[in-house]
Amino acid sequence: MRSNVIPLTPAAPPPAATQSVEFDAELLGRLAKSGPRYTSYPTADRFTDSFAYRDYLQAVAAVRTRGAAKPLSLYLHIPFCDVVCYYCACNKIVTKNREKAATYLGYLKREVGMQGLLFSGINEVEQLHFGGGTPTYLSDEQMGELMDHLHRVFRFAPDSAGEYSIEVDPRTVSPERIHTLRRQGFNRISLGVQDFDPDVQKAVNRIQPEAETRAIIDASRAAGFRSVSVDLIYGLPLQTATTMAQTLDKVIAANPDRIAVYHYAHMPHLFKPQRRINEADLPSSDTKLAMLSLCIERLAGAGYVYIGMDHFAKPTDDLAVAQQQGRLHRNFQGYSTHADTDLVSCGVSAISAVGATYSQNVKTLDAYYDALDRNELPVSRGIRLSMDDALRRSLIQKLMCQFEVSIPALEQAFPIVFSKYFASELEQLREMEADGLVTISPEWISVSMKGRLLIRNVAMVFDRYLAARAAGPRHSQTI
């Protein structure tokens, strides 16, 4: 890094899309700490087993009684993988026994059917996402059967209006398979890359040649996918600023619409595969900051807009446009363009957000199958939001997605006087204001260009559950 403070602005995007973010190495190093990613509020570690199947039924009933139906977002979790990637923190099952997937698919269709009945008449889907695991662990035929089943059970918005995405491991698909996925109804695709350096790939047990990945990106373009997204990770074993620069050059040359650059969270006490990583090979904190600075500088220079957290997009991409228009949303799949939807999730460990509730499915196949055999949805825990939860969720969403909050708008939506209700939080924000992270006025809380990289820190100020959480690292570092 040439200096501690590097102003970064995308190279010549349309004026309305211009975004910038300042990288202050001293500030980031001083303030980085463990904290939630706020894909929900309250976060999943606040869910309890006192919320179960019947509570979910009541939540759906409440949605029906509120009148005008909102569109739906569907998430399907396919937990299977052929091999384990050592960095992985996902809920997955590593097996080469394809019969397990066939059995799972049968139960998954059953759960989809039950959800479809619950939402009958109010079941138009505007957003669909397949995650995992590796969704393309399913064969062409199995994926086609599942998509046909979904279209029988739910009504889908036209391809031009809906966002239908799938996560793909380039090692598991051919260019022909990509064309098949497009015909099956997917119009957005996300590819895991992580790093192109062969030594880094070997250290995390994910050998993935650049040519193989480029072939899948090119096939996605040829097949007519509206958006191609690439995932990278910094902080992996044997990574350096030099190897990261080489990976960035290759990714930028591939010209994806969106790029996510995640910070590797090494928590082997929580995720067993990470125990196979040699901790001595992990880069230092200074090296990781240098890599983050490099990512921001290179992507900004290539014309990508900083959306927030770890996401970048072309100025014309739907994420950037949604942010400009104040429509950006954040859920369990990250940033989303469809804010006004109920999220219905199917599969082991999947989390739904319906009405003023969150609910999570059981995490093992046996428990999943047992619940469905009893003709019950496999909900194992969740939470019903209080007024305070809903208020703080709205506030945190605005911070995470728009980097600003209108105080009068919150006071109109909720029965509060902001300065009194959040008096202690405002005191904490004053300290952040002194560091240049935020500005506070009677009408607005605004996150500065310097503060955007620490947006999780800002959001944590309004999380009333943090002090009550168990000791020990449960979350990744904010930087």
Tell me what pLDDT residue 7 has. Answer: 36
Contact call for residues 400 and 453 (beta carbons, < 8 A): no
Tell me what pLDDT residue 168 has. Answer: 96
Contact call for residues 123 and 92 (beta carbons, < 8 A): no
CATH assignment of 387-468?
Answer: 1.10.10.920
Tell me what pLDDT residue 12 has. Answer: 33
* Cα–Cα distance measured from residue 208 to residue 192, given in angstroms and rounded to the nearest whole number: 10
Tell me what pLDDT residue 149 has. Answer: 98
One-character DSSP codes across 25-62: HHHHHHH--B----SSSS-GGG-BTTS-HHHHHHHHHH
* Cα–Cα distance measured from residue 164 to residue 225, given in angstroms and rounded to the nearest whole number: 10
325 residue type, one letter: Q
Tell me what pLDDT residue 20 has. Answer: 66
Tell me the domain boundaries of the chain. 44-346, 387-468
Tell me if the domain spanning 44-346 has CATH number 3.80.30.20: yes
Residue 266, CA atoms < 13 Å, CB-side half-sphere: 17
How many Cβ atoms sit within 10 Å of the Cβ of residue 339? 16
Tell me what pLDDT residue 408 has. Answer: 97
Instruction: Read off the pTM.
Output: 0.90
The tens place of each residue's pLDDT in the chain, 479 residues long, gives 333 333 333 333 333 334 468 888 888 888 888 889 898 999 999 999 999 999 999 999 999 887 667 899 999 999 999 999 999 988 889 999 999 999 999 999 999 999 999 999 999 999 999 999 999 999 999 999 999 999 999 999 999 999 999 999 999 999 999 999 999 999 999 999 999 999 999 999 999 999 999 999 999 999 999 999 999 999 999 999 999 999 999 999 999 999 999 999 899 998 899 999 999 999 999 999 999 999 999 999 999 999 988 899 999 999 999 998 888 988 887 888 877 789 999 999 999 999 999 999 999 999 999 999 999 999 999 999 999 999 999 999 999 999 999 999 999 999 999 999 999 999 999 999 999 999 999 999 999 999 999 999 999 999 999 976 554 455 666 66
Cα angle value 362/364/369 (rounded, 5°): 80
One-character DSSP codes across 262-284: EEP---TTT-GGGGGS-GGGSPP
Q: Is 299 helix (H, G, I), strand (E, B) or coil?
A: helix
Tell me what pLDDT residue 274 has. Answer: 94
Cβ neighbourhood burial of 117 (10 Å; 0-12, 13-18, 19+): exposed
Q: Is 433 helix (H, G, I), strand (E, B) or coil?
A: helix
CATH fold match for the domains 44-346 and 387-468:
no
* Cα–Cα distance measured from residue 337 to residue 163, given in angstroms and rounded to the nearest whole number: 9
One-character DSSP codes across 341-390: -EEEEESTT-EEEETTEEEEE-SSHHHHHHHHHTTS--EEEEEE--HHHH
